[in-house]
Amino acid sequence: MTANRASEIDGVVVSKFESMDDERGKFVKLSQFAHFQGSLSTAALSFNPNVGTVRGIHFQVEPFSEEKLVSCVQGSIFDAVVDLRPSSKTFGMWCSYELTADKGIQLFIPKGVAHGFQTLLPNSIIHYVLSSNHAPQHSFAIDPFGDLEIAWPTKVTSVSKRDLSGLSFSLAARQFAESLKKK
């Protein structure tokens, strides 16, 4: 099955982070925690020196599936999300957002929605707040160049071997669905 592009994915919330500017500079509140259903356990940063780097598309299955709050605090990224939830009205669809430090946009990504991005500017830094710790035995990648047919906006300069050998969409969706049955 090829996932279809959507204008938005059910449960993904786009919001603007709060910024207070004065003569000294800026104070920015990155996280709005009201969307999270679980407890927040991890904050993380992803440093990406080169334009064209692709990271993802990643997800974790139950009992370690995770909600994410993602923002770009330096630079710019093309952010892609894919709905793996079998009962969602946007199951099998993907959409993208441009996140930049200047625009102050952040994404809330619910459990069962896979996530990846490509850097559009050098030295892009991504900030994550996660509801679950990394659990390698429950963590998967979807091939970012496979059956999802995501049109990455710039030439790919770097991608991990893990991501290149990631699952097809249908296998990823099955993996997530089966984890829900064990929950």
Q: Is 97 a catalytic residue?
A: no
Structure tokens at 128: 């994550």
Q: Is 138 a catalytic residue?
A: no
Of the listed 58, 97, 115, 127, which one is catalytic?
A: 58
Ranges assigned E (strand) in the chain: 4-5, 13-16, 18-22, 25-29, 42-48, 54-60, 68-74, 76-83, 93-100, 105-109, 113-119, 124-130, 139-141
List CB contacts of 147: < 8 A, sequence separation 6 or more.
1, 2, 3, 168, 169, 170
Of the listed 97, 115, 127, 128, which one is catalytic?
A: 128
Q: Mind telling me the catalytic residues?
A: 58, 128
